[in-house]
Amino acid sequence: MRAARTTWAIRSVLAAGAGAAARGRRLGGVRGPGWMQQPGATALAAAVLAVMVALPVLLAVATAGGPVPAGGSNPAEAAAAAQQAAARWVTGQVQRSARVGCDEQVCAALAAQGFPHGRLLELGPAGAGARQAAVVVVTPAVRGENPAAAAADQVLAVFGHGSQRVEIRAAAGTGRQLRAGLAARQRQGRLLAGNANLRLTALARRQLLGGQVDPRLSSLIAYLCSQGRTLILAFTDSGPGAGPGVPLRSAVLTGAAGQGPAAQQLASTLPGSTAQFEAPSVSQVRAGSRPALRIEFAAPAPGGAPAS
């Protein structure tokens, strides 16, 4: 469940805070609000400031606002490249328990890349089977023969352009269900933002209060806050070309200013897959001179079609 491009961007952007952190250690006597006055917090604040300055670069890569180009010197090659890129994204980002609808070529590519064959649903003509899938890979063939699949509610990712465009879509329910899901995430965000053990960058706070964060991620962060103080640097990874309503499934975080567990300890406190938590993907990155964690849940976020 790795997006190499996103992981590289996070490592590069967060590493940009190292110099600011070093300078922050020389800014003795600088006072700030609340948590910034804690021992060691000035250096962390400087690192966070550098991250925030560079954050647009991170977000431009991690949550790209447009489709990922697919190579090819002619339409057939471009179509094949887009479909292969889409298959790689599904294999790396979609949970293995999800039922995925696809045309014959993409289903074959997914099976070849290791996605469970039993979770693949080859779509028939006139929309047959589309609504039994949690995720649908909408290729040109599917758009032409399967209007129900092409109308699925949320765009998770886009590959290619024009007539060769391939969309990864999730059946996320009716408009009323989508509005209810957003309201629930906003309520969850308000509760979490008020947690005394949680520190947020300004952007992360807006994302949380706006209902943009996957509820699984919010629940996990609440759990980590019960173990010690936690700083969220960024919420990311809604997929290349994803629609605006798709929840963010990934966070970059660390222990806050010497209080609570450090990143390595945070990793050890993560719960495994249980009835309450689905085990996320976890990778180590750097926030300036400090270790940090990137935590990511698989697509799709709760609120769409059932996974079974």
Would you give per-residue pLDDT tens digits along the chain (308 residues)? 444 333 333 343 334 333 333 333 332 333 333 333 344 444 444 444 444 444 443 444 344 445 666 555 688 888 899 999 999 999 999 999 999 999 999 999 999 999 999 999 998 765 566 778 899 999 988 887 766 555 556 899 999 998 889 999 987 777 788 889 999 999 999 999 999 999 999 999 999 999 999 999 999 999 888 888 888 988 987 689 998 889 999 999 887 654 445 566 666 777 766 555 567 888 888 877 778 889 999 999 885 433 33
Q: What was the pLDDT predicted at 63?
A: 42
Q: What was the pLDDT predicted at 22?
A: 38
Q: What was the pLDDT predicted at 123?
A: 87
Contact 292, 250 (CB under 8 A): no
Q: Burial, 187: exposed, middle or buried (Cβ in 10 Å; 0-12, 13-18, 19+)? A: exposed
Query: Amino acid letter at 212?
Result: Q
Q: What was the pLDDT predicted at 125?
A: 66
Q: What was the pLDDT predicted at 282?
A: 87
Contact 303, 259 (CB under 8 A): no
Q: What was the pLDDT predicted at 299?
A: 93
